[in-house]
Structure 1
Amino acid sequence: MNQIAIGKRLTLGFGLLLALSLLGTLLGVWQLHAASVSTQAVIEQPLAKERLITDWYRLIHTAVRRTTAIAKSSDASLANYFAEEQKLSAGTTTEIQKKVEGLMQTDAERALFADISALRRTYTESRDTVIRLRREGDADKADALLETRFVPAAKQYMGRVEALMELQRKALDQSAAPIKAANDKARMWLIALGAITCGLGVVLAATITRSITRPLSESVAVADTIARGDLTAQVQSTSSDETGQLLRALADMQHSLASVIGQIRDAGNQIASASDQIAGGTQDLSSRTEHTAANLQQTASSMEQFTATVQQSAEAARTASTLASSAAEVASQGGSLVAQVVATMDDIHTSSRRIADIIGVIDGIAFQTNILALNAAVEAARAGEQGRGFAVVAGEVRSLAQRSAEAAKEIKGLISSSVEKVGAGTQLVQDAGAAMQNIVTSVGRVTEVVAHIAASAREQSDGIAMVNGAIAQLDQATQQNAALVEESAAAAQSLREQAHRLAEAASSFKVTEGTDLRRPASAAAVPKPRLLPA
């Protein structure tokens, strides 16, 4: 039954009931028609005979009373008065008798009719004699004949007619028995068919109702279970009707919900894990940013010292130039001046070496800052949309670090040149100490070298100013990085809390263990961020 659609099921049930009702109606009509035909065939002729015989009996009874009245009357003209009526009555009786004779079918009817015909002849002869005697005025004979012959003949005649009439009534009663039996049979057929129709209707109604309400009850129970968050119920349906389709749709919905909840759980766990990793990476980045800021402060302090040294070198270069200019005038003091120049050149050489070391430190700081900026860009890329601003700052820091490195390289080249020139000057001074005779020439060369040193000192001062500006910008970028790191840490904490709330919401659903929870590509595991060494 459950393999048939509900519409077809109802159509089949009601169609069967309608067919049975129509069959009952047709059977009733047929039985009524058969009863009508049987009634007409069985009763029509006996009833006609009974009516004719009844009319015949009434005519005889009327004729007997009329003859008796004529015989008993003292008026002789009464016979003449009833003569015409008597003639008409006799003619009608004869016609009825002929009709009845033609309807006699059984032997009993024919024998009884023969007796009636013989008695009628006796009756008519005595009647005619009585009327004739009364017309002739012989009242006594007429009265005597009336009592002796007419009345007994009339009684016998009417008795036999009455017997024939009773025979017809009995025949009618006997004819009614088959009709009653046919009616009873038709009634039993109709009652049986009605009972079968009602019984079948009850069975069909119960079967169809149960086949519809039971799956609907199961569907309601499944929907209620899903509404309570329990997705572990086993939903099975083998029927192919609408209720079976509903149960299978509920089963598909339950599986889809279980799959979605599983995906939400996995996504929540992955988000929580990713947010924990982001928070850890952000904290590490914050500590590195603080360390970078401290290094920048140290670098700024070293650059202040380097600036002072360079200024001293520039001052020394100017002093050397003045001494070289006046060397020609104070040749007598050449020895002492040469000694002073040697000492000054040694100081310059030492300062140049210190400047070269500081420039090496600056170059290392720029390289480390470039690495930190690269790490910050990687972390910003992994942070997604929230790390976009941090990525811009990281790019700016990296650019400043590269510029610092380039400036440091330029300063290093200048310092190297200065060291070489200082070495040459020292050699010249030593040569001047060894051979004072060449002092004039040496002083000219020293003047030229000192001019170069002064120019180099100016260039160094400009480069150091640029380095100081770059360090200030790098310090500002570092402070901005620290603020962005704090914002990223707050965002990671908020993301972690949202992931926990999502996991709690998903945990309110009960899912069968081992459910096939297919995850979309977007829910893939988030790789753990890789931190570059400081």
Structure 2
Amino acid sequence: MRLWHRWFASLVGRIWLGMGGLLALMLVIAGIGLYQSQAVETRLLSAQAEAQRLTAAGRRMHDRVTDAYLATLLATMVDDPEDLKFELGSLDKAMAAYRTQFDEVFNQPTEAMAQRADELRRTETELAPMLASSVSRLQRAAGDAGADYQHDSAIQELVVSSLKPLFDQWLRAIDALDTAAAEASEAASAQASAAARWGRWAQAGVVVAGLVIGLAVAFGVARSLTRPVRAAVAVASRVAEGNLREAVPPGGQDEIGQLLRSLGDMQGGLHRLVASARDAAEQIDVSAGEVSSGISDLSHRTELAAAELQRTAAATAQLAVGVQALADSAASAGAVTHAATQAALAGDTAMGQAQALMSAIGRSSERIASIVGVIDNIAFRTNILALNAAVEAAGAGEHGRGFAVVAGEVRLLSKGVADAARDVRRLVESSADEVKAGQALVLQAGGAMQETVAAVQRLTDFLGGIATAMPGQASQVAAVDGAVQALEQVTQQNAALVEQGAASAVALGDQARRLKSLVAVFRLEANS
């Protein structure tokens, strides 16, 4: 019960209740309509199906009875026992098929159909003895006559005169099934019309009830909305006029009551906001004056900083020029040291070639010394041979005098050759010593030249590093120059902004005073 009261106290709950009732009534109306239409459709379809079934069954029963009459008539007209047997078999089949159709049609008959079934049974009962008697007479006649059987005109006349009226009555009773089917269809249509009328009356009653309930809910919701909405409008009007003194009346538990409480909270918040705005406006007015004086001091200091930055910019520009000149000089020195390095490398190459040449001279001197040794040995042997020849010549006496003279000349010649060989040996040995000394000097000069090349290469690398670093330093100095110039521009812009700030501070003071005058419109307390 408490939940229902809380739900009904809500505006949304009341609206949903009214709308839910209307929707429920609409669903009831739709359900009744659907149910009635479905019932009418079902009854009509059932009646149509039953009528079609009865009509089809009546036609089949009519055909079977007609087949039975024709088979009976033909049985009285044939002269062949086999033909008679065939026709009697056709009669039995037609009657069996008729009874099958009869059982299907009248399996669960209605009251009207039960009357039709009784009528058909009576007709069949009247016909059955006469038909059985005729068949028995035909069978006895065929059995007695054998192959000489001839049809009996009396039996044929009996069939035509007595059985045909009964068959006709039977067929008329069967044809009456169509009438029964039509009557059943009309009855179903009448029932469907009655159900449709009942559905329309039920829908009309539900619609009237829905209208009554909807009007009642609409009236109640409108009444519960009007008074609190007027109170909320009055509160909004007072706030619009600047009157924040009067309290907001309490509301109910629905959404309008929540709106009134929210308006009360809004009025209280606005009251606090206006009071705070008054205090803030006074503080802003005081602070604006202080900001204005501070901005004036900042403007003076900014002008001094701008002058210092101008001098700094000039100095950095000169520094950039000097660094660029130093970079150019470093590049020139690098080129000179590179040329010196190339010359030192060429001298190192020449010293290597001289060292190789001195080595070749040393090897040649050694070969000359060995050749001179061979010559000295030859001279020594020649001298011994000459001495032996002289001894032999002396032993030969007068005959060997000429040979002795020749041997003496040969000795003198070999002695001269030996002396010359010793002189050449001394010269070659002296030359070899000098060549070795020259090789040592060339080696020392080559080492000194290599050290010179290495030193020049290190100097070249050092100057190359300086030349490589100088463009970066020049670009960095240029960047510093650009930064100083940008800082100078920023300082000038700051000076302009400071002037704008001063103007803004003055405008802020004016706006603060205007805000005070605007906030004064709101009436907070009696002494406000």
State the TM-score, normalized to the length of structure 2: 0.39
State the TM-score, normalized to the length of structure 1: 0.38
